Amino acid sequence: MSLTTPIHSPRYQLEQAGVTLHQQAVAVVVCIHNALADVKNCLTSLTQHSTSPWQLILVDDGSQTPTRDYLNTWVQQQTTIQVQLLRNDSAKGYTLAANQGMQQAINSKNIPEAVILLNSDTIVTPWWLDRMLACANSENNIGMVGPLSNTASWQSVPEIEHNGDWATNPLPLDLTVAQMGKRLGALSIRAYPRLAFLNGFCLLIKRALIDDIGYFDEATFARGYGEENDYSIRALKAGWQLAVADDVYIYHAQSKSYSHERRKQLADAAGQALAQKHGQAIIDQGVFQCRHSRLMSNIRNRTRHLLDRWHLIAQGQYHWAGKRILFILPITDAGGGGNIVISEAQAMQRMGVDVQLLNFYGNQAAFERSYPDLPLPVNYVHTHFDIPKTCMGFDVVIATAHQSVDWLTPLAEQKNKPQLAYYIQDFEPWFFVQKPALYGKFWEYPWLRRRLAGYYFRRDPGFRHAWLSYLHLPEMTCLTKTQWNQNELYEQLKIQAHIVGPSCDIDLFQPRNEHSEQETIHICAMIRPSSLRRAPLLTMQVLGALKQCYQQAIEIYLFGVEAQDPAYLSLPHDFEYHHLGLQAPQQIAALFSKMDIFVDLSSFQAMGLTAMEAMACGLAVVLPKHGGGESFARHQQNALVIDTTQAKQCQQALEQLIENQYLRTDLGMQALLDMANYYPEKAAYKILQTLFDS
């Protein structure tokens, strides 16, 4: 967004919505047969939410006097849009009326690049034309585009079926259609899923496709129903693709032109005609593809949580808009803790909170490479002595690592000090344990961990400093992610911390393509030699053994460390793999979209963010049972949760995923469903509630 764009201008609203205004000529064809109330709603929404250039062609297919007269008057009143009205004195049926409208558009003086067939029982939403055309233009071989809707068979969100029939998905009474469209569009990644069939209630057809395969089959589907399925099959056979504009929501009222019983009769008859023309096999194949589309499943699942997310945003704005929070985030490279802080800080920003970060000038170049185009303000300081002055004026200052707690000490001694908090995403003393995999049983029993802590407290100054950071400022509000982390703090130090819950950036980490039935299985892992608890040696050994066993059947991708890192070079490299180096979050999300399996063989994880991110992308994941992973992962249901201190168990788990395609797919699909519930607004809201309402 440009800093000079006025906040109330239409251009600002477009930039916020991620919309580019279309320049192509487009014709919208609306076929009408009675149902005057629906027609009025449709035409009102079209004039409100359609951006130029566009023309409107109305085909009145034998409507009775009230609808006929209304259309005549309405057309005469239009001064800002180009509109034509065609009239059939007796109803010819939808298919003939649609062809009539399309032919009028194609044969007009201003030949459009695309024609959109729109039912008269629809309500369009802001920027629908621009977003539909953006989807159509995203690839040359896309010939047809449909939007999401409340009731549009496979394009329905959030449900496609209810009690054995197509779902209607009514909107909440306090939500307008336009609001639903804006909210859905704001959180879309524009994956543009491909489907075998598109619903005809709103159908963009490129002129090039019409030139290629012609119009609807009037002879077979004269009465309507089935004509769009036939057209979809013909388009696919001709080499075109059918895409869903997943940032467009158009409400479908289910027209009163036909009764429910009449619609069912027409649909059944059309299904028989379609099978006779193309064969049942191609129909069954298309239905299977629509039903099991991973991208559409993810879109429906995210929509289920959409309203809850916006409710939290609205509640956050009501309670805490204008509050000021500063996170002390002294990092260079992208990592789990930083990713969480940034995604939850952005969620707070959506709630109207003034959230800023603090880092050092020495970290600036690397930090901005890791997090390009960061929408959060960052305060850079030269040394930690400059921190207290920068913190003044904030309501809350939050430390995010044990070193940063010391830097807040001067603030604690001031009169008008901000509230101090510590976001504890791990039990950092354990970072200093050497060869943590050797202490397998210690991670299972608190009393053994207390003995281990006593040993390291006496012998390791780094361990001791991290330990004492939890006690350094007794007035600090302690926040943490998981039950495991809360228990660890209490059992070891009698520190009470507030659980805010696991979260990940589900708007970034989500599937971006369909699973292809490929012979090669793609496995990825993060290698961090600087963190021994992440078991870099064990990970390389297990992956090396797998490569030796499965050869070209698997491909291995490693990320998280520079290729010239001395600790990395000391690890075994005697197998074929792809080394990707340090990766920004956007790069990891792109990588996960191409992977099948993610493996985390850490001795323990306080939460396991990278595993969550992989699960949110639909990967089958192996992660440690020791720690907080079980706050979101369930063994054999959405992941394999194993004792990663046992090398044999690690290898067996991966072999199971490699050899069992059904397990791999089932775990990935369930993970995809489950991770949509861990959106950052939920944790952000809990943080604000804890800080300001406790």
Nearest to 49 by CA among 128, 133, 148: 128
- Cα distance between residue 670 and residue 674, in whole Å: 6
91 residue type, one letter: A
> Among 104, 36, 30, which Cα is nearest to 68's?
36
pLDDT for position 12 = 45
One domain, residues 564 and 474: no
Q: Angle 260-278/227-237 helices, nearest 10 degrees?
A: 30
Q: How many residues does the chain have?
A: 694
Q: What's residue 414's pLDDT?
A: 82
Q: Is residue 511 part of a domain?
A: no
Look at residue 621 and tell me if it is in a domain: yes
- Considering the domain architecture, whether residues 338 and 217 belong to the same structural domain is answered as no
Phi, psi of 597 (to 5 degrees): -135, 140
User: What's the average pLDDT block by block, 10 residues per block, for the chain (694 residues)?
Assistant: 40 63 95 96 97 96 96 95 95 94 91 95 97 96 98 94 88 91 90 96 97 94 86 97 97 68 72 91 94 92 90 95 97 90 96 97 94 94 94 95 92 87 93 71 73 86 93 94 94 94 94 79 94 90 96 96 93 94 92 96 92 96 93 97 93 96 94 95 97 86
Q: Are 147 and 128 in contact (CB under 8 A)?
A: yes
Q: Are residues 485 and 616 in the same domain?
A: no
Q: What pLDDT shows up at residue 9? A: 47
Two tokens, residue 626: 């020791």
- List all residues 6 or more positions away from 661 whose beta carbon is below 8 Å from its beta carbon: none
- What's 466's domain CATH number? 3.40.50.2000
Is residue 666 in a domain?
yes
Asked which of 274, 305, 336 is the last residue of a domain, the reply is: 305
Do 337 and 230 have their domain in common?
no
582 and 629 together in one domain: yes
What pLDDT score was predicted for residue 439? 60
Contact (CB, 8 A) for 344 and 504: no
Residue 236 is part of a domain; what is its CATH number? 3.90.550.10
Distance from C-alpha of 342 to C-alpha of 327, rounded to nearest angstrom: 9
pLDDT reported for residue 1: 33
- Does residue 261 sit within a domain? yes
Nearest to 346 by CA among 371, 370, 363: 371
State how beta strands 498-499 and 477-480 pair. parallel
In a domain, 263, yes or no: yes
Tell me the C-alpha distance between 353 and 321, whole Å.
Answer: 5
Would you say residue 260 lies in a domain?
Answer: yes
Burial tier of 134 (Cβ tally within 10 Å: 0-12, 13-18, 19+): buried
Query: Does residue 301 lie in a domain region?
Result: yes
Residues 195 and 245 in one domain: yes
Q: Is residue 315 part of a domain?
A: no
pLDDT on residue 604:
87
Query: With the C-alpha atoms ordered 633, 636, 642, 647, is the resulting torsion angle positive or negative?
Result: negative
Query: How far apart, in whole angstroms, are the C-alpha atoms of residue 351 and residue 311?
Result: 10
Residues 491, 531 share a domain:
no
Run of H or E including 247: strand 241-249
Same domain, 230 and 155: yes
Number of domains into which the chain is organized? 3
- 376 and 475 both lie in a single domain: yes
Q: How far apart are CA 215 and CA 199, in angstroms?
A: 16
Domain, as residue range, for 672: 521-678
Nearest CA among 340, 360, 306, 672 for reference residue 479: 340
CA 570 to chain centre: 38
Give the span between the Cα atoms of 157 and 302, in whole angstroms: 9
Instruction: Tell whether 99 and 189 lie within a shared domain.
Output: yes
Residues 109 and 217 both lie in one domain? yes
Statement to judge: residues 534 and 632 lie in one domain: yes
